[in-house]
Amino acid sequence: MRCYIQWIGSNLGAGQIKSIGSYLFPLTNWIILPIRRLIPSLGRFDTASFLAAYVLVLGKTIILSWILGLSPLSLFALIFTSIELLDLTISGLIGLVFASVILSWISAGSQIQYLISLLVEPLLNPIRRVIPRLGALDLSPLILLLILQLLQIVLSNLK
């Protein structure tokens, strides 16, 4: 989430009371700040957040490989970890799109709806440029969900 927040260029209210940034950043500082001292960000890409997420997923992969009796440290584990991290990211984006759509129906204008729309709009805007709105009907979340689902299908076949 931190890597994505930096990528879209928003701090989501870091330092403000009752914002996602005021909860997310302190929760993840324990792992990200030491890595950030060693590895700086590359422009908008937060390498420390990405590396922290990769190491955590790699740890999960190693533990599962060990339980299954497979060689825990191999090229397979590194590739599988990359695919698993990408799949996890896509699953999170799918959840955000669903939350955005549901909140636009039931609590339009709320603070949480604004926050989620900040996260989802950068993904929806390119689709909206290609596919125009049909009156009050916006099909861009549906198309984004289809694209994300197709990516998950491809990733599950790679696994």
pLDDT for 62-80, tens place per residue?
A: 888 888 887 777 788 888 8
Residue 21: the pLDDT is 64
State the Cα–Cα distance between residues 78 and 67, nearest whole angstrom.
17
* pLDDT-based confidence at residue 12 (cuts at 50, 70, 90): low
Residue 57: the pLDDT is 93
Report whether pLDDT(14) > 70: no
Domain ranges (residues) in the chain: 1-70, 74-159
* pLDDT-based confidence at residue 53 (cuts at 50, 70, 90): very high
Top pLDDT among 2 and 129 is at 129
State the Cα–Cα distance between residues 38 and 14, nearest whole angstrom.
23
Please compute, for residue 110, the number of CA atoms within 13 A of its CA located in the half-sphere on the CB side: 13
Non-local (6+) Cβ contacts of 51 within 8 A are 35, 39
Report whether pLDDT(10) > 90: no
Report whether pLDDT(104) > 90: no
Report whether pLDDT(2) > 60: yes
- The fraction of the chain above a pLDDT of 70, given in percent, is 91
